[in-house]
Amino acid sequence: MRQLYSFYFDAFWIALKSILEHKLRALLTLIGIIIGVAAVVVVGASIAGLKTYVVETASKILGSNHFMMTRMASMGRMSDEEFERKNRRNKDINWEEYEYIKANCLLCTEIGAQINSNADINLEGVEMPAVRIMGVTGNMVDIEDKTIVEGRFMTDEESTRMTNVCVIGWDVKEKFFPNKSPIGETLKVRGVPLKVIGVEQQRGSFFGDSQDRHIYIPIAVGAQTFNRTGGIQVHGKAETENFKDSIEEARLLLRNKRKLIGTEEDTFGVVNVDEFNSQMDQITGAIATVVIPITLIILVVGGIVVMNIMLVSVTERTFEVGLRKAIGATRNQIMLQFLIESALLCVVGGILGLVLAVGATQLVGYLLEMTMTITLGYVALSVGVSSVIGILAGLYPAWKASRLDPIVALTKT
């Protein structure tokens, strides 16, 4: 056993010594492996970071354990035919249906409503076009886990009565009241004066689209201002353990209200945060399925480079191989020596690639202002593949070295 350990140690030392004696050649050999491993890890980190970015942003906007019912809703991409079919079949949700769901959804902790419109806002010559105006019930602050940094959100009584108040997003605050508190100030929406009672915490952007360019107004005011009798979004919230059941209960309530029976399709859409997360898993999984094999090709190219260098190494060390065989080295021992050298090159390249990947992910994350997450799975994949490639790349050169005739090899210089 000690003799076996001694052999492996000697083989490893010979391989390491050979690499260190040709540093530049070894570095050039490693470049393909380094870039390949770094590419796999960075792409994996980008995919994981994309999912984290989207889910975190969605959580800021939608809150947790939150579902929505509306006329048209889909977490996936609909075909044109499916869209046209649903567009013809589905109906707007009206106020009576919202109140029916609110009164009868026993598993729901909150049921709220929202209507969406847009308006240009002008204050003393300062204009902000296409501001999103959301008429909401007072409990939307709890349903979507909104954070109010100045003032307060509207009450349920204010939202259902014609109370002229509003809560503004951060962009609106910065546009019209950059150097003072907006609380108590007045903004006009379609000519209706609204007293500012609160400012929502900055939510940031979502793929470059600001999520702070909005104003919340009482849903009754929104319905009258924009002449809306339907098109209501119903928003629900429930405890985690009852979340899926609460969605189903609300769905069945609306079906019953619309007298849908049996296998008749829903004439409305339902969206929830869990489905959104599952959809992101599918999207990022599809991206990984396409992109990761492409980046692995770089590792294969790096393996081909390693094979070529190992073949050159066998040619250069013909005399050494012949001498070792002459003093008793077996074919397996010669073959193992070159395999260890090839695998060592790729493992070192894999480690250097990981170091490069860490730096690259930090840089990309900083430039894109997005969290880049290096996952253990992609690290294991890249290092594992580079190690396997190292062994495979060394097989033919090692086999060729082991087949050398010692007499012929010793006569070559």
Q: Are 143 and 112 in contact (CB under 8 A)?
A: yes
Q: How high is the pLDDT of residue 65?
A: 84
Q: Which tokens sit at 134?
A: 């959301």
Q: How high is the pLDDT of residue 78?
A: 63
CA angle, 306 then 309 then 311, to 5°: 110
Q: How high is the pLDDT of residue 1?
A: 55
**What are the domain boundaries of the chain?**
2-57+279-410, 91-267
Of 13, 15, 8, 6, give the one whose Cα is nearest residue 314: 15
Q: How high is the pLDDT of residue 327?
A: 72
CA angle, 177 then 140 then 89, to 5°: 115
Q: How high is the pLDDT of residue 409?
A: 56
Q: How high is the pLDDT of residue 127?
A: 92
- Give this prediction's pTM: 0.67
State pLDDT tens for residues 167-207: 999 999 999 999 899 999 999 999 999 999 999 998 877 66
Q: How high is the pLDDT of residue 362?
A: 85
pLDDT (tens digit, 0 to 9) for every residue of the chain, 413 residues total?
555 556 566 667 776 777 777 777 777 777 878 888 888 888 888 888 777 777 666 666 666 788 899 988 765 566 778 878 888 888 999 999 999 999 999 999 999 999 999 999 999 889 999 999 999 999 999 998 899 999 999 998 998 888 999 999 999 999 999 989 999 999 999 999 999 999 999 887 766 678 899 999 999 999 998 887 678 999 999 988 888 899 999 999 999 999 998 888 899 988 876 666 666 677 777 777 777 787 778 777 777 777 777 777 777 767 776 777 777 677 777 777 777 777 777 788 888 888 888 888 888 777 776 777 777 777 787 777 777 777 777 777 777 777 766 666 566 55
Measured CA distances, 49 to 37, 41, 307, 369, 390 (Å): 18, 12, 35, 11, 30
Q: How high is the pLDDT of residue 5?
A: 57
Q: How high is the pLDDT of residue 183?
A: 95
Q: How high is the pLDDT of residue 36?
A: 82
- The C-alpha atoms of residue 330 and residue 31 are separated, in whole angstroms, by 33
Q: How high is the pLDDT of residue 4?
A: 52
CA angle, 389 then 349 then 8, to 5°: 70
SS (H, E, C) the chain: CHHHHHHHHHHHHHHHHHHHHCHHHHHHHHHHHHHHHHHHHHHHHHHHHHHHHHHHHHHHHHCCCEEEEECCCCCCCCCHHHHHHHHHHCCCCCHHHHHHHHHHCCCCCEEEEEEEEEEEEEECCEEEEEEEEEEECCCHHHHCCCCEEEECCCCHHHHHCCCCEEEECHHHHHHHCCCCCCCCCEEEECCEEEEEEEEECCCCEECCEECCCEEEEEHHHHHHHCCCCCCCEEEEECCHHHHHHHHHHHHHHHHHHCCCCCCCCCCCEEEEHHHHHHHHHHHHHHHHHHHHHHHHHHHHHHHHHHHHHHHHHHHHCHHHHHHHHHCCCCHHHHHHHHHHHHHHHHHHHHHHHHHHHHHHHHHHHHHHCCCCCCCHHHHHHHHHHHHHHHHHHHHHHHHHHHCCCHHHHHCCC
Q: Which residues contact 7 (CB under 8 A, 6 or more apart)?
A: 333
Q: How high is the pLDDT of residue 384?
A: 79
